[in-house]
């Protein structure tokens, strides 16, 4: 199994787990769990993009934002700005002890989930 295949498998599972928690009625435990699962999903998203770019395109990138920007340039991602925002959200999750920050991030997770699903489909189909 290649590095990319292993990452895709992990990313797929992370997406399932994020979707699972987002289908639960919201409370503070569900919210916090969803944010944690978003963190895992985003980390696997950028690492999958990194491996995809290296294996399929021969392009090396070393940071989440750099990889997402390159994926956009390569036509793999439709929206560069959303992925950069997700990286910023991920960096902001260290402040989820602040209720308003946690709620703000949580509200954006359904859209992020849809984009994760779209990304993994593109990677699998390529």
Active site residue 69: no
Tokens of 72: 């956009």
Burial track 58-70 (b if 16+ CB lie within 10 A, e otherwise): eeebeebeebbbb
Active-site hit among 17, 31, 69, 95? 95
Contact 93, 18 (CB under 8 A): no
Q: Rounded to whole angstroms, how far apart are CA atoms 49 and 98?
A: 31
Contact 120, 12 (CB under 8 A): yes
Using DSSP's 3-state secondary structure scheme, residue 48 falls into helix
Active site residue 31: no
Active-site hit among 17, 31, 69, 90? 90
- Active-site residues, by number, are 90, 95
């Amino acid at each position: 199994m290649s590095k990319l295949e292993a990452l895709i498998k992990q990313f797929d599972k992370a997406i399932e787990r994020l979707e699972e928690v987002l289908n639960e009625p919201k409370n503070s435990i569900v919210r916090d769990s969803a944010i944690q699962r978003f963190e895992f999903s985003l980390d696997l998203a950028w690492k999958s993009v990194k491996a995809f770019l290296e294996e399929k395109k021969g392009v090396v990138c070393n940071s989440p934002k750099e990889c997402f920007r390159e994926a956009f340039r390569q036509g793999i991602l439709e929206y560069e700005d959303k992925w950069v925002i997700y990286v910023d959200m991920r960096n902001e999750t260290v402040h989820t002890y602040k209720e308003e920050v946690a709620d703000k991030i949580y509200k954006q997770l359904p859209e992020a989930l849809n984009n994760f699903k779209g990304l993994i489909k593109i990677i699998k189909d390529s």
